[in-house]
Structure 1
Amino acid sequence: MDVTKVVFVSAHTILSLAGIFFNGLLIYVGIFHSPNKIKTYAALILNFAFSDLIICLMNLFIQQRLVTTGDSTIFVSNGPCKLFGPSVCFQANNVQQHLITFGAYSLLLSFFYRYYIILRVPPSRRNVLIVLFIFYLPSFIQYILSLFMESPPEEMRQIFEEAFPQYNSKCLTIGGIKDNTLWLPNLVISHGIFAVIPIYVAIFVFRYMIMRKLKVVMCVRSETRSMQKQFLKALTYQTSIPMISLVAMIFFGIGQQKMFKHPAMEYATPICLLLTPVVSPLASLYFVHPYKTKVQSLMGQEANSFSQKTAIVSISQTSNV
């Protein structure tokens, strides 16, 4: 029995199911229990939830192990996708990866929205969705390009067997990219990794500007200012979660440079990328008062005084946010 495989496949399954549950719950309360006064911002919350839900579904379907050797990236799939062949697994991974990148763009849009409404009338939900679509375009282009960078599975299996003769590859579902240095894979991978850097710089700039505006703008009502700060706290929490992805990049780099090779590290890279969509919905479920109250009612709990203090949105206090 391959103990490492059992442990990490179990981890994939448990985390994926947890993410499906949390995001499904957020979608439910977001659609059916969002007060009219936060309907516009709820569209951005639901965007996160639907994207993260799909990521978790794809991960459950793939349950990937990422192996690097030279200029090649090899995907070993352990999920149900292997019943349909390595090409299906590869394309499912493309769906997952482009949505992970889109998550960073979505965070940037959320901070921009919070800054925009400090001094201006909140935009309509329709306009928010139009801007959201524009922010999705870079990730969509990444996805379209990724459809054409798969190498023949037979070649990838041969590369895997030559590089790792110690592994038994007979029953493995193997696919991937033969040469990452070609312009197409290089472009797609670079966007998925390096686009995050300027996005996060912009996010922290917007965060600074929001905090500064909240201090100096006197026309913002005190309860609105408090609400903004706590929305900002939720977004900051969501911003810190993807930092876990740095661990995945470190593991990927170590494997790419052949500094250390072990199946546990190859499984750990996709696991680290999965943690963000699993944990992210908890921010909205905890900080958004109507959502938190509904979750507590589903759990048979009464909202206590502490939840009232930590709530960012109460129906009685909220303006159009």
Structure 2
Amino acid sequence: MFLLILSVLHTVLAFLGILFNAIFVCLTVFYSPKSIGTFSILLTVRGWVDGFACLFDIFSQSRPIPSGLTLGIASTGICKYLNDWSCFLGYGLQLHFHCFSFHLLILCFLFRYYVLLERYPKSKQLIFIICLIYFPSFFQVLFVLIDNNKPEDVRLLVQIHHPDYQLKDFVVNGHVDLRDFPCLFSYLLMLIPIIPGCILIHVLRRKIHSKLRNAILRPEIREKHRQLTLALTVQTVIPVAFVFSTISFLLSQSKLIESPVLESFTLLFAVIVPVINPLLSIALIKPYRDTLMRAVGLDPKEWQFMSRDCSVAPGDASSSMFGSFDNSSVASVTSMTSKFSMTQEINPFE
């Protein structure tokens, strides 16, 4: 019964993730103001990636089953009505998009910190960087799919290690031996960056906070930055879901805890991230939030407390919590006698 509940929860979360990200992509493509600039490209790509991660979660409904040196992948999604290979493909692509989404989250923080130091990157430069950080995710899914073993061999080994598991209604794929180079390389490429990536995000948030705290700004601008810091703090919590997903997998793989429920949590934690990402972005970016509110029949002017929290200054309807990304938005900070002096007093970014 509990596994059925987890399956329903998987489906509901993934469906909501697809819906939220579809709305978010439409907003970034058609309603991104000039104040956001090239950052809208990064937001659009993240929306697509998160949406596909949810789509393949519904398609495969996979559950990794560590069984000694064997890793079984039990799937109950739509793919079981096609063939065994489609289930394994869906599982591999789901991991792929989760991996790429995490790398894009790190890039978002790098972008924000870079804008405080230099001029914002041009569209071609940002697209090139996105393509560059895509390669680790590409190799990860490539090596996972290369190491697909015969389903009957994997099922037999899984049943030997877990004779009490009822896998009759599952499509079982996976890897016979995790020590094989393609398999080992692909999973290490996905698992190892999680903790360092979370640490890097935390460090970047502190550096951004420090930069803003030492800047000489007008009171209304400083309040805007206080809201920015809150937004950054909230976003640093998102990758924790990937950490829990990694812990669930490692606990199962190390045989410290062998439970179908824990195995199901591995990808359940991961799918939470692409559901939360678009919601936070829409809530924190004023033009997107106002557009969506009007679409559902709400008047943004009636929600003055939200406008006051997220706008750059009172009455500034074109700005968002991400501030302005044009060339004039970058404050030049120089060190003089252990103090910061601003050559321009302008709006960094959000």
Q: Give the distance between the partners of 1:48 and 1:40, measured in 2 at CA.
A: 13
Q: Give the distance between the partners of 2:297 and 2:149, measured in 1 at CA.
A: 52
* 3-state SS, counterpart of residue 189 of structure 2: helix
Picking from 283, 287, 296, the partner of 2:284 is 287
Q: Give the distance between the partners of 1:225 and 1:49, measured in 2 at CA.
A: 30
CA apart distance, 1:296? 1.2
Q: Give the distance between the partners of 1:203 and 1:257, measured in 2 at CA.
A: 28
* 3-state SS, counterpart of residue 37 of structure 2: helix
* 3-state SS, counterpart of residue 146 of structure 2: coil
Contact 2:35 2:318 in 1 (8 A): no
CA apart distance, 1:238? 2.6
Contact 2:195 2:243 in 1 (8 A): no
Q: Tell me which residue corresponds to 1:65.
A: 63
* 3-state SS, counterpart of residue 147 of structure 1: helix
Q: How does 1:9-28 map to 2 (within 5 A)?
A: 9-28=7-26
Q: Tell me which residue corresponds to 1:176.
A: 174
Q: What are the ranges of 5 or more consecutive residues in structure 2 without an aligned counterpart?
A: 327-348
The 1:231–1:147 alpha-carbon spacing in structure 2 relative to 1, beyond 3 Å, is farther
Q: Tell me which residue corresponds to 1:203.
A: 201
Q: Give the distance between the partners of 2:186 and 2:219, measured in 1 at CA.
A: 45
Give the helix-richer structure, 1 or 2: 1
Q: Which amino acid aligns with 2:75?
A: S
Picking from 87, 101, 109, the partner of 1:89 is 87
The answer to whether 1:157 aligns with 2:155 is yes
Deviations 1:93-136, CA, capped at 9 Å, x for gaps: 11111221222221221111111212422222221111111121
Question: Which fold has the larger relative contact order, with Cα–Cα distance below 8 Å and residues 6 or more apart in sequence?
Answer: 1
The count of residues paired between Structure 1 and Structure 2 equals 318
Q: Which amino acid aligns with 1:122?
A: Y
Contact 1:114 1:228 in 2 (8 A): no
Deviations 1:47-82, CA, capped at 9 Å, x for gaps: 211110000000010111221111111111010011
Q: Give the distance between the partners of 2:236 and 2:189, measured in 1 at CA.
A: 19
Q: Give the distance between the partners of 2:16 and 2:192, measured in 1 at CA.
A: 29
Q: How does 1:82-121 map to 2 (within 5 A)?
A: 82-121=80-119
Deviates more, 1:50-59 or 1:292-301: 292-301
Determine what percentage of the aligned residue pairs are the same residue.
Answer: 28
Q: Tell me which residue corresponds to 2:305.
A: 306
The 1:115–1:251 alpha-carbon spacing in structure 2 relative to 1, beyond 3 Å, is closer
The answer to whether 1:253 aligns with 2:250 is yes
Q: Give the distance between the partners of 2:179 and 2:72, measured in 1 at CA.
A: 14
Q: Tell me which residue corresponds to 1:272.
A: 269
* 3-state SS, counterpart of residue 176 of structure 1: strand
Q: Tell me which residue corresponds to 1:55.
A: 53
Contact 1:101 1:196 in 2 (8 A): no
Q: Which amino acid aligns with 2:281?
A: S
CA apart distance, 1:221? 6.9
Q: Which amino acid aligns with 2:307?
A: Q
The 1:131–1:290 alpha-carbon spacing in structure 2 relative to 1, beyond 3 Å, is same
Q: Tell me which residue corresponds to 1:212.
A: 210
Q: Tell me which residue corresponds to 2:72.
A: 74
The 1:169–1:152 alpha-carbon spacing in structure 2 relative to 1, beyond 3 Å, is same
Deviations 1:119-156, CA, capped at 9 Å, x for gaps: 42222222111111112121112122222111111111
Q: TM-score, normalised by structure 2?
A: 0.84
Q: Which amino acid aligns with 1:252?
A: F
CA apart distance, 1:87? 1.7
Q: What are the ranges of 5 or more consecutive residues in structure 1 without an aligned counterpart?
A: none
The 1:120–1:257 alpha-carbon spacing in structure 2 relative to 1, beyond 3 Å, is closer
Deviations 1:161-206, CA, capped at 9 Å, x for gaps: 2222223333320001111122221111111111122222322222
The 1:224–1:98 alpha-carbon spacing in structure 2 relative to 1, beyond 3 Å, is farther
Contact 2:42 2:108 in 1 (8 A): yes
Q: TM-score, normalised by structure 1?
A: 0.91
The 1:132–1:145 alpha-carbon spacing in structure 2 relative to 1, beyond 3 Å, is same
CA apart distance, 1:39? 3.1
Picking from 143, 161, 164, the partner of 2:141 is 143
Deviates more, 1:237-246 or 1:290-299: 237-246
**Aligned Cα root-mean-square deviation (Å):** 2.1
The answer to whether 1:187 aligns with 2:185 is yes
* 3-state SS, counterpart of residue 32 of structure 2: coil
Q: Tell me which residue corresponds to 2:128.
A: 130
Q: Give the distance between the partners of 1:57 and 1:25, measured in 2 at CA.
A: 15
